[in-house]
């Protein structure tokens, strides 16, 4: 499972992680993945595949949901991080943007952004600079800075959620389903900003997405999760061009939407016979 790295030390490394909810529900069945420094890695899969669970197992947010990592290990910058609190992780440079945006609706956009800096003990000047940095990447937020978040659009709320994460000056962002419920044009706008942050600020991303084809256009590498297991991984361009991935995710198969595994096995058999 080291293909993403070609021998380099991974920045984030998830090794054989198993997650159980409520003591009995086995959801992740040994997931391994790596994010090299400065890369965008996509974690793909259908509804319920375990993408959010994987991100929460990394950011240690599972505990609040009666979930537990029962096997495996997680390292960030060469150090085990499985026992840290989310705050300690933020201080080490890793922040998660939760699925569903989660802005404080009654606060203004700017107040929401400011909540992202709470783990940093910083001066007013530094705070202002951090805000300006967010507004530089999200000019839309600057024009909406005094609006109550609850009244801003879905796209603006997603931008606010990412902007708030940026206020903690992370070097790694776990981004859960940024495209959810947004119009295609806004999705592109958000992914362009993700790319910009990656290229200019060297922020690494682990990006969970159901929107496979968009995510693969922006990612360097991808993993496909199904039913709590990685069923395929590869270079993003190769995955996007892969017939099995296209067949499954673009619904090109004749017999309706099959399990990705079935498609893969079926194709394998076909190759065998040929
Ligand atoms: N707190 C929880 N308690 C019990 N089961 C849970 C809990 N959270 C998630 N699950 C189950 O774990 C499985 C994986 O869920 P998860 O949210 O990780 O999937 P996902 O890939 O993020 O899906 P989606 O694309 O819909 O967001 C699902 O079957 C879900 O029902
Ligand atoms: Mg999810």
User: What is the distance between the alpha carbons of residues 163 and 101, in angstroms, rounded to a whole number?
Assistant: 11
Determine which residue's CA is closest to atom 5 belonging to ligand 1: 21
Rounded to whole angstroms, the Cα distance separating 8 from 146 reads 45
Q: Which of 159, 260, 163, 209 is nearest to 54 (CA)?
A: 209
Is the separation of the CB atoms in 15 and 74 below 8 Å? yes
- Tell me the pLDDT tens digit for each residue of 187-243: 999 999 999 999 999 999 999 999 999 999 999 999 999 999 999 999 999 999 998
Of all protein residues, the one whose alpha carbon is nearest to atom 9 of ligand 1 is: 53
From CA 185, how far away is CA 214, in angstroms rounded? Answer: 11
Name the residue among 27, 76, 75 with its Cα closest to residue 54.
27
CA distances from 220 to 84, 159, 167 (A): 28, 22, 25
Contact 124, 117 (CB under 8 A): no
8 lines ligand 1 (CB under 6 A): no
Asked whether the predicted pLDDT for residue 248 surpasses 80, the reply is no
DSSP-derived 3-state class of residue 211:
coil
Looking from the CA of residue 55, the nearest atom of ligand 1 is 18
Side-chain-side CA neighbours of 189 within 13 Å: the count stands at 15
Pocket probe mutation, ligand 1, options 19, 20, 29, 52, max atoms within 8 Å of Cβ: 52
**Coil vs helix vs strand at 184:** helix
Domain 1-93+171-235 has CATH 3.40.50.300: yes
Instruction: Enter the tokens of residue 48.
Output: 């319920």
Work out which ligand 1 atom sits closest to the CA atom of 52.
Answer: 22
For residue 207, what pLDDT is reported? 97
**Where along the chain do its domains lie?**
1-93+171-235, 103-169, 242-274
Task: Provide φ and ψ at 85, rounded to 5°.
Answer: -90, 160
> Is residue 44's pLDDT more than 90?
yes
Kindly give, in sequence order, each residue whose CB lies less than 8 Å from that of residue 183, ignoring residues fewer than 6 positions away: 155
Read off the pLDDT of residues 137-179 as tens digits, 9 standing for 90 and up: 999 999 999 999 999 999 999 999 999 999 999 999 999 999 9
The beta strand positions in 152-218, using DSSP E, are 172-176, 204-209
CA distance 211 to 191: 12
CA 134 from centroid of its chain's CA atoms: 19
Most ligand 1 atoms within 8 A of CB, residue of 53, 100, 180 to mutate: 53
């Amino acid at each position: 499972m080291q293909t993403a790295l070609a021998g380099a030390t991974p920045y984030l490394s998830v090794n054989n992680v198993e997650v159980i909810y409520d003591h009995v529900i086995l959801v992740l069945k040994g997931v391994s993945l790596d994010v090299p420094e400065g890369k965008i890695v996509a974690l793909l899969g259908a509804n319920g595949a375990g993408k959010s669970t994987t991100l929460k197992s990394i950011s240690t947010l599972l505990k609040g949901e009666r979930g537990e990592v029962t096997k495996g290990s997680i390292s960030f910058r060469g150090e085990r991080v499985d026992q840290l609190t989310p705050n300690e992780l933020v201080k080490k440079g890793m922040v998660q943007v939760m699925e569903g945006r989660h802005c404080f609706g009654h606060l203004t956009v700017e107040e929401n952004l400011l909540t992202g800096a709470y783990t940093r003990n910083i001066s007013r000047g530094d705070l202002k600079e951090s805000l300006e940095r967010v507004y530089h990447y999200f000019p839309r937020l600057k024009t909406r800075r005094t609006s109550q978040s609850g009244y801003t659009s879905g796209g603006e709320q997603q931008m606010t959620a990412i902007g708030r994460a940026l206020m903690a000056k992370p070097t790694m962002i776990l981004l859960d389903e940024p495209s959810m419920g947004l119009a295609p044009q806004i999705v592109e706008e958000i992914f362009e900003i993700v790319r910009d942050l990656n290229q200019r600020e060297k922020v690494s991303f682990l990006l969970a997405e159901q929107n496979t084809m968009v995510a693969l256009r922006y990612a360097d590498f991808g993993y496909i999760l199904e039913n709590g297991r990685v069923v395929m991984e590869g270079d993003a361009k190769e995955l996007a061009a892969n017939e099995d991935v296209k067949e499954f995710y673009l619904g090109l198969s004749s017999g309706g939407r099959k399990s990705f595994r079935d498609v893969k096995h079926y194709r394998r058999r076909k190759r065998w016979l040929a």
